[in-house]
């Protein structure tokens, strides 16, 4: 944790608790009541001004800061710190009316239009100029206000624009990347279909073509879009830091968001922050949430992260928006903390009377302080305060899973593959879920991450992977690591060009086999598979026409054209081992094979014998470890046996041995630092 975040943690007294506050939506008479109820709820942090540009600058160059002054003063007097946002995610109507060219043009050539948010082209120099203007005014006025504890730059960066300004910026980006047109033409394989560029001015953003698009051009545009958005963030960050350099600066990311490469963004922030809304209708939404939390802990090398937004109950963005049953909001909040979140923050404090999210739940709902939700918020506030010793601690893992935005873009954003219905997220979760159920700690890595801390690396459908990533993975196995790899990995380089010398070009030596063809399965096609130990399985969706070289078959097909050919391959390479899935096994067989490989690699299993519905996680600092046990079952109580007890921070009780967890119940046990169980 860097010094700015350490100062923030010290200021709020442990974990940050609170959420987005939008006082501009309310009469000033409400503000004092808000502060009183925030204090009752244990709120120590309020995010202010996220969508307030039009309220702060109602006309170009005319500023109204009086209301913000009053709110900042009220919050400070109430002992509540402010995470002050630059409001640049929602440009005011006067800006788009004066300069309609700032509207993002969509891929179909139509303008985005006013009435939502994010109505800007991130490459627009006019937008950037006005965004810098309001940011500068805020920094001038509030950098040394005693309430200020953190800067929140914009909100949920996301627009993809196909404007002329985007084309200009895209060309500049390409010139920096390639240097000359010859290198670009080679990387993009423009000799195919006669697409050779002879002048930089000929290159435009790749809006919808009438047939198909050059896959390398499309891939570079995804990279450019992420970088263009990042440029906007950095510009505003640098403005606020120019006034005061000891306050942390963050922005908020989103769950499984494809338009921004968060591995590139994370180093530019003091902490990464996540907005996440698990759908209560999805029975496994807490598992995908756990992956997101592990990803966000990993983005900055294991540092604590910030849960910036979640809902207290129902949301408003799905077709059916069900409430969180009593206890679910508490459990989800503790789940984030268990995986190294140092905050529990919500959207939003007071439910809005109008606007699109008028039925989105809030800490203080429409039914007021005498409501189930607010009572749960008050109770959670007491528990968050009791968890202050956890702040700053983090987690350790011996298993890592590769999650790479370039690979995601290559697999889903460029057409022309053997199958064009891949879901990278589904593949990642298929690999992650059995580890979560077995209570293995997991880190998430990029192709540039150090793999030295790990015994096992999972690689889900890494179709596109750069040379640096290939070298790191190869050395990891050579040095004794175990890789568990899914089919269609290592196929193309960073320019989306098929690697030479046969599939899978990057990993042929590692898997010890050559693949002649990739066979997409026909609809409803099922293959029977048999393992060497006699287990049988079924497979669907995909098969590699694989020919063993140094590898051996862990499982073979029992029928079909590929009868007796390998379906799962194991190979020794250097001091390490690779297990390669050449097909899509049924879930039970895949999970069993994956977990056997993990166990053979010697990865520690801290919570053996605990049922899958009880989530187990450990955070550590130099003095203590904090064991989180979370029962996700809403009906069944469960007993968990621990070899070493301690103090349950939530109840204050001393616990040891058998620990009873009621439905949706949790304990957080503090005990002296010791090796993982």
594/618 same-domain check: no
Name residue, tokens 């030596």.
509
Rounded distance, CA 587 to CA 545, Å? Answer: 22
Q: Do 408 and 432 reside in the same domain of the chain? A: yes
Distance CA 540, CA 223 (A): 33
Structure tokens at 360: 């989105």
Radius of gyration of the chain (CA): 26
Q: What is d(CA 587, CA 342) in angstroms, rounded to the nearest whole number?
A: 34
Three-state DSSP state, 589: helix
pLDDT category of residue 160 using cuts at 50, 70 and 90: very high
End-to-end CA distance of the chain: 25
Condensed to tens digits (0 to 9), the pLDDT of residues 465-509 reads 999 999 999 999 999 999 999 999 999 999 999 999 899 999 999
What residue has token string 């009438």?
Answer: 210
What are the tens digits of pLDDT across the range 225-258? 999 999 999 999 999 999 999 999 999 999 999 9
Of 578, 600, 622, the one marking the end of a domain is: 600
| Residue 547 three-state SS | strand
The tokens 């990739």 sit on which residue?
518
- Average pLDDT over the chain, rounded to whole? 96
For 418, 453, 521, the CA distances from 176, given in Å and listed in that order, are 33, 34, 42
Task: Specify the CATH number for the domain of residue 505.
Answer: 3.40.50.880
Question: What CATH number does residue 279 fall under?
Answer: 3.20.20.80
Residue 628 shares a structural domain with residue 596 = no
Asked whether the predicted pLDDT for residue 85 surpasses 60, the reply is: yes
Burial tier of 521 (Cβ tally within 10 Å: 0-12, 13-18, 19+): middle
In this structure, the answer to whether residues 553 and 642 fall within a common structural domain is no
Burial of 8 (0-12, 13-18, 19+ CB in 10 A): buried
Q: Are 418 and 518 in contact (CB under 8 A)?
A: yes
Residues 545-555 have a mean pLDDT of 98
Q: What's the domain count of the chain?
A: 3
pLDDT at 677: 44
The answer to whether 309 is a known catalytic residue is: yes
Find the length of the chain: 677
- What is the C-alpha separation between 174 and 194, in angstroms, rounded? 20
Q: Is residue 373 part of a domain?
A: yes
Three-class DSSP category at 339: coil
The answer to whether the beta carbons of residues 532 and 554 sit under 8 Å apart is: yes
Closest of 509, 496, 506, 446 to residue 470, by C-alpha: 506
Residue 205 lies inside a defined structural domain of this protein: no
Which of 547, 573, 600 is the C-terminal boundary of a domain? 600
Q: Could you tell me the two tokens for 169?
A: 């910026």
Distance CA 396, CA 643 (A): 19
Catalytic, 509? Answer: no
What average pLDDT does range 155-182 have in this prediction? 96
Same domain, 337 and 384: yes
- Burial label, 533 (beta-carbon count in 10 A; 0-12, 13-18, 19+): exposed
93, 95, 96, 101: CA torsion to nearest 10: -170
Measured CA distances, 652 to 270, 648, 656, 664, 674 (Å): 33, 5, 13, 19, 21
Q: What CATH number does residue 628 fall under?
A: 2.60.40.1180
Q: Which domain holds residue 488?
A: 399-600
Q: Tell me, yes or no, whether 479 and 417 share the same domain.
A: yes
HSE-CB at 436 with a 13 A cutoff on CA atoms is 24
Whether 208 maps to a domain, the answer reads no
Cα–Cα distances (Å) from 105 to 102, 114, 584, in that order, read: 9, 12, 40
Cα–Cα distance for residue pair 235/267, rounded to 1 Å: 15
Helix orientation angle between 328-338 and 285-299, rounded to the nearest 10 degrees: 30
Q: Please state, in angstroms and rounded to a whole number, the distance separating the CA atoms of residues 308 and 12.
A: 15
pLDDT tens profile 284-335:
999 999 999 999 999 999 999 999 999 999 999 889 999 999 999 999 999 9
What CA–CA distance (Å, rounded) separates 661 from 614?
A: 9
Using CA of residue 495, residue 497, residue 500, residue 505, what is the dihedral sign?
positive
Q: Look at residue 458 and tell me whether its pLDDT is greater than 50.
A: yes
Cα distance between residue 286 and residue 277, in whole Å: 10
Beta partners for residue 399, in sequence order = 442, 456
Q: Return the SS3 of 399.
A: strand
State the CB neighbour count (10 A cutoff) for residue 293. 24
* Rounded CA separation 554/548 (Å): 12
Packed helices 328-338 and 372-386: angle between N→C axes, nearest 10 degrees: 30
Answer yes or no: is 266 within a domain. yes
Token pair listed for 521: 């399965």
Euclidean distance between CA atoms 8 and 25, whole angstroms: 28
Name the active-site residue from 24, 101, 156, 413.
156
Integer Cα distance of 675 and 657 in angstroms: 18
* Residue pair 304/248 in contact by the 8 Å Cβ criterion: no
pLDDT at 108: 86
pLDDT digits (tens, 9 = 90+) for 425-457: 999 999 999 999 999 999 999 999 999 999 999
pLDDT, tens only, 99-119: 999 999 988 888 888 888 889
Q: Which of 618, 607, 598 is nearest to 455 (CA)?
A: 598
Q: Which two three-digit tokens encode residue 117?
A: 């948010």
Residue 46 near residue 75 (C-beta atoms within 8 A): yes
Residue 209 has pLDDT above 70, yes or no: no
Q: How far apart, in Å, are the Cα atoms of 403 and each of 117, 199, 266, 461, 537?
A: 29, 36, 14, 10, 27
Q: What is the DSSP string of 632-671?
A: --SS--EEEEEEEEEEETTT--EEEEEEEE-TT-EEEEEE
Catalytic residue among 57, 236, 269, 309: 309
Tens of pLDDT, residue by residue over 42-53, are: 999 999 999 999
Indicate whether 384 and 419 sit together in one domain: no
- The pLDDT of residue 210 is 66
Instruction: Give the pLDDT confidence score for residue 646 in this predicted structure.
Output: 96
The rounded distance, in Å, linking the Cα atoms of 649 and 669 is 6
CA distance 350 to 199: 55
627 with 589, same domain? no
Please check whether residue 183 lies inside any domain of the structure. Answer: no
Helix, strand and coil content of the chain, in percent to the nearest 5, comes to 35, 25, 45
For residues 113, 114, 119, 121, the Cα torsion angle rounded to the nearest 10 degrees is 50
Of 600, 635, 651, the last residue of a domain is 600
In contact, 532 and 564? CB cutoff 8 Å: no
Do 235 and 150 belong to one domain?
Answer: yes
358 in the same domain as 419: no
Tens-place pLDDT, residues 125-140: 999 999 999 999 999 9
Asked if residue 378 belongs to a domain, the reply is yes
State how far the alpha carbon of 542 is from the alpha carbons of 55, 58, 267, 355, 487, in Å: 55, 57, 38, 46, 8
Q: Is 192 left (phi over 0), alpha (psi -120 to 50) or beta?
A: beta
Using CA atoms, how far residue 178 sits from 184, 188, 221, 472, 664, in Å, is 6, 11, 14, 24, 54
In this predicted model, what pLDDT tens digit does every residue of 355-405 receive, in sequence order? Answer: 999 999 999 999 999 999 999 999 999 999 999 999 999 999 999 999 999
- pLDDT at position 586 is 98
CA distance 522 to 112: 39
Residue labelled with tokens 């990042």: 230
Other CB atoms within 10 Å distance of the CB of residue 652: 8
676, pLDDT greater than 80:
no
pLDDT at 129: 98
* DSSP letter for each residue of 346-385: ES-SB--SSSTTTTS--SB-TT-SSSHHHHHHHHHHHHHH
- On whether residue 568 sits in a domain, the answer given is yes
What's the token pair of residue 639?
């007993």
Residue 384 and residue 486 share a domain: no
Is 351 among the domain residues? yes
Q: How far is CA 623 from the centre of its chain?
A: 29
pLDDT tens digit string along 560-616?
A: 999 999 999 999 999 999 999 999 999 999 999 999 999 999 999 889 899 999 999
Sheet architecture: strand order including 306-309: 252-254, 273-275, 306-309
Whether 664 and 556 map to the same domain: the answer is: no
């Amino acid at each position: 944790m860097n010094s700015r975040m350490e100062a923030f943690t010290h200021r709020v007294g442990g974990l940050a608790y609170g959420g987005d506050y939008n006082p501009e939506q309310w009469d000033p008479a409400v503000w004092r009541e808000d502060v009183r109820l925030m204090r009752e709820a244990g709120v120590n942090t309020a995010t202010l001004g996220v969508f307030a540009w039009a309220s702060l600058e109602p006309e170009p160059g005319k500023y109204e800061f009086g209301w913000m002054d009053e709110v900042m003063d009220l919050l400070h007097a109430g002992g509540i710190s402010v995470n002050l946002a630059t409001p640049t995610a929602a440009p005011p109507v006067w800006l788009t009316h004066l300069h309609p060219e700032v509207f993002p043009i969509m891929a179909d050539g139509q303008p985005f239009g006013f009435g939502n948010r994010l109505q800007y082209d991130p490459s627009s120099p006019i937008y950037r100029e006005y965004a810098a203007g309001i940011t500068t005014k805020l920094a001038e006025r509030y950098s040394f206000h005693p309430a200020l504890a953190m800067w929140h730059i914009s909100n949920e960066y996301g627009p993809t624009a196909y404007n002329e300004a985007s084309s200009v910026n895209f060309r500049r980006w390409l010139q920096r990347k390639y240097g000359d047109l010859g290198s670009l033409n080679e990387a993009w394989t423009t000799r195919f279909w006669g697409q050779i560029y002879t002048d930089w001015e000929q290159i435009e953003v790749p809006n919808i073509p009438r047939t198909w698009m050059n896959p390398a051009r499309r891939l570079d545009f995804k990279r450019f879009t992420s970088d263009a958005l990042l440029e906007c963030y950095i510009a505003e960050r640098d403005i606020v830091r120019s006034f005061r350099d000891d306050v942390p600066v963050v922005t908020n990311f989103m769950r499984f968001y494809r338009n921004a490469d968060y591995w590139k963004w994370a180093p530019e922030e003091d902490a990464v922050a996540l907005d996440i809304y698990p759908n209560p209708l999805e029975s496994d939404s807490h598992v995908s949430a756990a992956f997101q939390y592990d990803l966000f802990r990993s983005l900055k090398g294991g540092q604590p992260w910030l849960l910036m937004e979640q809902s207290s109950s129902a949301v408003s963005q799905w077709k059916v928006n069900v409430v969180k049953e009593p206890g679910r909001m508490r459990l989800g909040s503790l789940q984030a903390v268990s995986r190294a979140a140092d905050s529990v923050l919500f959207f939003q404090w007071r439910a809005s009377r109008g606007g699109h999210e008028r039925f989105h739940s809030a800490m203080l709902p429409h039914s007021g302080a005498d409501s189930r939700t607010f009572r749960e918020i008050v109770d959670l506030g007491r528990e968050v305060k009791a968890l202050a010793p956890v702040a700053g601690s983090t987690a350790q893992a011996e298993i890592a899973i590769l999650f790479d935005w370039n690979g995601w873009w290559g697999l889903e954003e460029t057409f022309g593959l053997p199958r064009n219905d891949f879901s990278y997220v589904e593949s990642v979760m298929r690999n992650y879920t059995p580890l979560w159920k077995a209570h293995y700690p997991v880190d998430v890595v990029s192709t540039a991450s150090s793999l030295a801390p790990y015994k096992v690396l999972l690689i889900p459908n890494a179709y596109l992977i750069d040379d640096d990533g290939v070298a790191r993975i190869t050395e990891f196995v050579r040095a004794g690591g175990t890789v568990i790899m899914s089919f269609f990995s290592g196929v193309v380089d960073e320019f989306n060009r098929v690697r030479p010398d046969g599939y899978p070009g990057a990993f042929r030596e590692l898997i010890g086999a050559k693949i002649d063809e990739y066979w997409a399965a026909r609809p409803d096609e099922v293959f029977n598979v048999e393992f060497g130990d006699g287990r049988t399985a079924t497979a669907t969706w995909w098969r590699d026409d694989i020919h063993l070289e140094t590898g051996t078959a862990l499982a073979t097909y029992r029928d079909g054209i590929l009868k007796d050919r390998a379906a799962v391959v194991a190979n020794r390479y250097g001091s390490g081992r690779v297990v390669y899935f050449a097909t899509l096994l049924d879930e039970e067989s895949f999970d069993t094979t994956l977990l056997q490989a993990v166990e053979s690699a010697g990865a520690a299993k801290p919570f053996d014998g605990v049922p899958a519905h009880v989530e187990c996680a450990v955070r550590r600092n130099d003095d203590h470890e904090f064991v989180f046990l979370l029962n996700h079952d809403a009906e069944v109580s469960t007993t968990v046996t621990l070899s070493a007890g301690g103090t349950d921070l939530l109840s204050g009780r001393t616990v040891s041995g058998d620990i009873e967890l009621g439905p949706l119940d949790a304990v957080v046990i503090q005990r002296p630092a010791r090796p993982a169980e």
